[in-house]
Every structure is written in structure tokens, then in C-alpha cells.
């Protein structure tokens, strides 16, 4: 049976991870681009575009981890020890950048320290997440109900590549976000950065996409086997469309377009990942049914999720609506 509880939950967890990647993607991206902003005023403005929403954005990461624990406990129990080092690095990096949001307003002398902490944490968190993704794609060694590899199995040229690619992609997200949310010099810097990070992202993500099918025969068949290829070819076609919108938006000064095109790029890459993975949650050995908790657990949380997730989306949308439009430099939240 395909449309069972485990399948629904795989979809919901995938949605949470995608929501996280997009939402925290742009605020991590703002952190990555921070050193390219020159004056204090520019940095203040850039940070104020994300200050009211970063905390909600990061909650999706807790949902991704907590949700995995709840409904796919075996996947959680296998993946976390396998990716021990990148996960711990990511957590510590998130501490560095998370505290900076408040700390940098609390001091004048030490402000540069927290600006550095913000960028350092953002880059490291993005890099560690990219490495974790790459390590998951290349496969995790499982014996019985536990991870059976060593501390450093995750470290390969491929995982380093995915790490760098995600830093570039988040930076692109941050750049297009700033184009959408600011005016004046910050927007000008962001616009230039959008071009550079956009080109870098396309190259790196393209490279990752080309390598991925050859890591696992399953992926290869999924993408190039017949008749799959008739559908899978739609993904790169749609990515091409997103790139065109991105370029046109930047050229015609339609400031929301590049951001939306970047979101589309993330969604499509994520779908591509799903095409490779399904039905595995921990390739190459554990499917979503292998790792799912008993139906009683899945039901219990699903009942709540069906009510609460729409509410969360509604008030999250409301919070974004409250802070809509270009941020007024004089309106300083702090």
C-alpha cells in the first residue's frame, strides 16, 4: 500500500525540511552576505529584514528533527550518529548566529564581534547542512538497527561539494531576499551579489545533479530509465524556466521575481532529491516503511498536525504580512 500513514508522514517531514531550507535559507544567506555590506547602517537594515522572523524560520528545523524522532525514530537514530560531526558543527554554528541577532544591538565596542559571529555561524551552518545532505545522498552504512560506520565516513569530495553548493545557494537566497526587502545601497549590493551567487549556484548545483545519479544505481535508473526519463526531464526544464525568470526579474527591476525564482529553484532541486530517494529515507538500506513508528504513533501526531499545521501556516503568513514590503531604514526595530 502506497498512500499509507508512513507515506503521508514522509510527505509532511519533507515539507517541513523544505520549509526550513527556504525560510532559514534566506536568513542564513543574509548572514553569509553580511561582510559585503559596508556601513553599519547597511548591516542594521539587512539584519532588520530578518530579525522579526528568524526564530520562526528556525522552528522548522526543530520540526524536521523532532518530527523525524516522532514518526521515523529509526531514521533519526541512524542518521544522527552517522552525521555526528556535521550535525554538532551545525548546532554550534546556529548558536553563534542566533545570539548575534540580539547581542549586536547590546554593545557598540563589541558589535564587530557579533557581526563576525553572525557571518561565521551562518556560513558554517550552511556548509554543515550541505555536507549532511551530501552524506545522506551518498548513503549511510547500517547494520541491524544502528549506524555501523565510523566518525568520518561522511567526509568525501562529494559531500564537500554539496556543502559549498548549499553555501552558495543560501547566499543567493539571501541576496534575492535583500533585493526584495530593501532599497538604496543595500539593494544595489544585493543585486550584484545575486548575479554572482546565482551563477555560482547554477554551476555547483548542476555539478551535484550530474554526479548524484552515478552514486547509486537506483538513482541512475530513477532518472534515466524508461519511461521515468519522460517525467524526470521536466525537472531540469522547469529549472531552466526559473533561471530565465530570475534573469528577467533582475534586469527589469521586478524586485520580488528573483527571490521567487530562487524559491522555485530550491523547490525543484528538492523534488529532484525526492525522485532520487523515494522510497528510501536512509539510502541505500532503509525505506520509509522500515523506519516508521507504529501506526498508533503516526495517527496520534497526524491528528494534531492536520489541525495545527494549517494554523501555523496562517499565523506565520500573518507575521510576514505584518512586516511586509521594503524595510524602512528609519523604522529601526531596535
Cis amide leading into 284 (omega within 30): yes
Q: Which residues of 23-39 are buried (b: 16+ CB within 10 A; e: fewer)?
A: bbbbbbbbbbbbebbee
By the rule CB under 8 A, 49 interacts with other proteins? no
260 and 195 in contact (C-beta within 8 Å)? no
Q: ∠151-155-157 over CA atoms, to 5°?
A: 165
How far is it, in rounded angstroms, from Cα 235 to Cα 240? 9
Length of the chain: 334
Query: How far apart are CB 330 and other proteins at their closest, in Å?
Result: 12
Phi, psi for residue 165 in degrees, rounded to 5: -60, -40
223 and 274 in contact (C-beta within 8 Å)? no
The count of chain residues that interact with other proteins, using the rule CB under 8 A, is: 67
Q: Per-residue x/- marks for other proteins, 83-122, CB under 8 A?
A: -xx-xx--xx-xxx-xx-xxx--xx--x------x-----
Q: Per-residue x/- marks for other proteins, 141-170, CB under 8 A?
A: ----xxxx-xx-------------------
By the rule CB under 8 A, 73 interacts with other proteins? yes
By the rule CB under 8 A, 78 interacts with other proteins? yes
By the rule CB under 8 A, 328 interacts with other proteins? no
Query: How far apart are CB 284 and other proteins at their closest, in Å?
Result: 19
Selected from 47, 79, 165, 178, the binder of other proteins by CB under 8 A is 79
Q: Per-residue x/- marks for other proteins, 226-265, CB under 8 A?
A: ----------------------------------------
Q: Which residue has the cell 547542512?
A: 129
246 and 260 in contact (C-beta within 8 Å)? no
How far is it, in rounded angstroms, from Cα 299 to Cα 76? 19
Instruction: Name which of 56 and 213 has its Cβ closer to other proteins.
Output: 56
246 and 275 in contact (C-beta within 8 Å)? no
The residues that touch other proteins, with contacts defined as CB under 8 A, are: 51-53, 55-56, 58-59, 61-63, 65-71, 73-74, 76-81, 84-85, 87-88, 91-92, 94-96, 98-99, 101-103, 106-107, 110, 117, 145-148, 150-151, 293-294, 296-297, 300-301, 304-305, 308-309, 312, 315-316, 318-319, 322-323, 333
Amino acid at each position: 500500500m502506497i498512500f499509507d500513514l508512513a507515506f503521508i508522514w514522509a510527505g509532511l517531514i519533507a515539507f517541513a525540511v523544505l520549509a526550513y531550507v527556504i525560510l532559514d535559507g534566506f536568513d542564513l544567506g543574509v548572514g553569509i552576505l553580511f561582510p559585503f555590506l559596508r556601513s553599519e547602517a547597511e548591516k542594521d537594515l539587512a539584519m532588520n529584514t530578518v530579525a522579526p522572523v528568524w526564530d520562526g524560520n528556525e522552528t522548522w528545523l526543530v520540526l524536521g528533527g523532532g518530527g523525524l524522532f516522532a514518526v521515523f525514530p529509526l531514521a533519526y537514530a541512524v542518521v544522527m550518529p552517522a552525521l555526528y560531526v556535521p550535525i554538532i558543527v551545525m548546532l554550534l554554528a546556529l548558536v553563534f548566529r542566533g545570539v548575534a541577532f540580539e547581542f549586536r544591538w547590546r554593545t557598540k565596542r563589541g558589535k564587530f564581534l557579533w557581526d563576525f559571529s553572525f557571518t561565521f555561524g551562518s556560513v558554517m551552518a550552511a556548509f554543515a547542512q550541505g555536507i549532511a545532505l551530501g552524506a545522506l545522498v551518498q548513503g549511510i552504512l547500517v547494520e541491524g538497527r544502528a549506524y555501523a560506520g565510523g566518525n568520518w565516513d561522511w567526509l568525501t569530495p562529494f559531500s564537500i561539494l554539496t556543502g559549498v553548493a548549499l553555501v552558495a545557494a543560501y547566499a543567493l537566497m539571501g541576496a534575492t531576499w535583500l533585493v526584495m526587502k530593501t532599497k538604496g545601497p543595500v539593494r544595489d549590493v544585493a543585486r550584484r551579489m545575486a548575479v554572482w551567487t546565482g551563477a555560482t549556484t547554477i554551476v555547483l548545483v548542476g555539478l551535484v545533479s550530474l554526479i548524484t545519479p552515478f552514486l547509486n544505481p537506483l538513482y541512475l535508473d530513477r532518472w534515466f530509465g524508461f519511461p521515468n526519463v519522460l517525467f524526470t526531464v521536466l525537472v531540469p526544464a522547469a529549472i531552466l524556466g526559473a533561471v530565465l525568470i530570475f534573469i528577467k526579474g533582475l534586469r527589469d527591476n521586478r524586485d520580488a521575481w528573483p527571490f521567487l525564482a530562487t524559491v522555485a529553484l530550491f523547490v525543484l532541486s528538492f523534488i529532484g532529491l525526492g525522485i532520487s530517494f523515494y522510497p528510501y529515507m536512509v539510502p541505500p538500506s532503509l525505506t520509509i516503511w522500515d523506519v516508521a513508528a507504529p501506526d498508533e504513533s503516526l495517527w496520534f501526531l497526524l491528528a494534531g498536525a492536520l489541525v495545527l499545521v494549517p494554523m501555523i501556516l496562517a499565523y506565520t503568513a500573518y507575521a510576514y504580512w505584518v512586516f511586509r514590503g521594503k524595510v524602512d531604514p528609519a523604522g529601526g526595530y531596535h
